[in-house]
Structure 1
Amino acid sequence: MSGDRARKPPTRGDYVAWRQVTTRWRDDDAYGHLNNATYYELFDTAVNAHLFEATGVNIRALPQIGVVAETSCRYFREIGFPEPIDMGLVVDRVGTSSVIYRIGLFQGDPEGEGAVAAAEGRFVHVYVDNERGAGDRPVVPLPDVVRAAVEPLLR
């Protein structure tokens, strides 16, 4: 990464679609902040919940499904239970057979500390044939219904 995005945490204005989730006691680790694995669960939820809602179909049953090819997370500050988390979603790229998402996690007052992301994830879906066995799934083009759901999130 280069430039300001490599150094500065993103702000709420960097995202297009939003959802809020509640935190649970079990989400925190022994140090009292959100466990690293929970961040990745939230990224997965943000992307797939958007796809379910925006397409209006069960994305698991499509002839082509998105599998996770890459994820990463940049951490900027601690967050955790009991406050809710706002998840912002934006799409960086829509390719022939893949989508690159960014998910910002925000906690706290949107006019104060919560105006800046506590963490940002990168999440890459690659579409494969859902009707083939798990070990033999060729990469395929995005379904039209998915393309229609993600293109409005391009920034």
Structure 2
Amino acid sequence: MDVHNKATRSKNMRAIGTRDTAIEKRLALLLEPPGFTFTVQDASLPGRPDFVIADYRCVIFTHGCFWHHHDCYLFKVPATRTQFWLEKIGKNVERDKRDVIRLREQGWRVLIVWECALRGREKLSDSALSERLEEWICGGGDAAQIDTQGIHPLCVIS
């Protein structure tokens, strides 16, 4: 049973931001010191990447672990309206895969930075996260993800 009535829950859900989130702000602060020039929320690209670093032909998404179903301690299956939420989150996951495939077809390199790497009890330190970002941006690689365990290849099957 939800602790809020339908109107209150709806108001709360509408208040969840889609840009300038805390995790996006933290990542932007980490991209500036090495001198990476980036644009944000480029609507002309599939998925509207959170960061586009055109000089390196790469895009970066900051994914919330709940909304994009990351297998970590921050993802919990909702106890109420479970089927609704699983379907909604499942559609997000499918859209994410489709966007990564389209970006790769257009020649973009794709990095996903998971929320758990940026906040929470197991987050990476600023120095560890900066190292991983710089390593991937400058070093190449087609698609990768960063979570609490570090950086890993991103496997997307069409």
TM-score normalised by L of structure 1: 0.29
Structure with the larger RCO, 1 or 2 (CA within 8 Å, 6+ apart)? 1
Greater share of residues in helix: 2
Higher strand share: 1
